[in-house]
Chains A and B, each alone.
Chain A
Amino acid sequence: MEHAAAITFDPHAEEDRTSTGIPHDKMGMWVFLCSEVMFFTGLIGSYIVLRYGSTWPDPKSVLNIWLTAANTFILICSSVTMVKALEWIQRGNVAKSKLFMCLTLFGGSVFLGVQVYEYRHLLHAGFNPHVSLFGSTFYTMTGFHGFHVFCGVVCIAWCTGKLFLGKYTPEHHLGIETLGLYWHFVDLVWILLFAIVYLI
């Protein structure tokens, strides 16, 4: 009983929560991202198999690759601002970290807006999920990715709010680092999707 009473738990001391040398939050995010790798690999693999097993239009004749290339650039920029936000809070400059988190939120929102615009344009032109196998796979893959981006934007907004409320400090900012992992993964998946779905 005396030994049990001596055990304390400080939720703010992240080193108390590690058993692998890696914080549990971070390890949990990596394991989640590994499951997402399998998820998107299944989608991309199915796309490859379906595409080369049937007749398929040239994606460049249906999709606007220039708009999507610009959108890819925006997502890459938001990934850079995310990692810069982490860098600045690690360096102790909370003000710059707030700036870069806001820029990340803006970039993610712009990406989603352009995706919505693209969908509206394609649907208006008659390219819907029912028109062909290409249509259904395109909307499935980009739709799931878009949903991941949406969830990421919501989380970035949440973390930015916490940063402005002073919940993250140069000493405790694991939430930003963990969120950054997710956001970079979303960017990584889009890099592959853009190449395979739009350019080939």
Chain B
Amino acid sequence: MSSESHSDTHQIPNYMAIFWWLLGLTIAEVAWAVIPHRSELVLASGIVGMAIIKAVLVALYFMHLKFERRIMGILFASTLILGCILVSVGIGELVLPRP
């Protein structure tokens, strides 16, 4: 089975709908960034949350991860998990008390 026939076996997503979502979320991000917030945690949570949604939309629909074999998703997700562990170790340096 050729790569092209594997791609053709799934319904082509509505790319323009994804584009409008990405545009809307980008506008919402900038708006969230400029309005005053009670704490930086609220600011960061909102922006990071929206950025993650955008990144997931790009990965699932533009990179076709939703329609690929499961092994691709596992491969990609495993590196994200390793990355999160790396970042957590660094943040631990800041948060945890020194011996």
Contacts and interface: CB of A to CB of B under 8 A. Distances in A.
- Our verdict on whether A and B bind, yes or no, reads yes
A61 B88 CA distance: 28
18 contacts: A22-B72, A38-B86, A41-B79, A42-B83, A42-B86, A45-B83, A46-B90, A48-B87, A48-B91, A60-B33, A69-B30, A87-B15, A172-B4, A174-B3, A188-B55, A195-B47, A195-B51, A200-B47
A165 interface: no
A90 B87 contact: no
A45 to B, nearest CB: 4
A151 interface: no
Contacts of A196: 47-48, 51
Contacts of A118: none
Interface of A: 13-15, 18, 20-23, 26, 30-31, 33-35, 37-38, 41-42, 44-46, 48-49, 52-53, 60, 65-66, 69, 72-73, 76-77, 79-80, 82-84, 87, 90, 170-174, 177, 180-181, 184-185, 187-188, 191-192, 194-196, 198-200
Contacts of B44: 200
Given A21-B69, A37-B80, A174 B86 contact: no
A191 B51 contact: yes
Contacts of A82: 62
B58 to A, nearest CB: 5
Main secondary structure of the interface of A (DSSP, over half): helix
Interface string B13-29: 00110110011001001
B97 to A, nearest CB: 14
Contact of A48 (B23, B63, B80, B90): B90
Given A21-B6, A48-B91, A80-B16, 15 more contacts: A20-B71, A34-B75, A37-B80, A44-B87, A46-B90, A48-B87, A80-B15, A80-B62, A82-B62, A87-B15, A188-B58, A191-B51, A191-B55, A199-B32, A199-B33
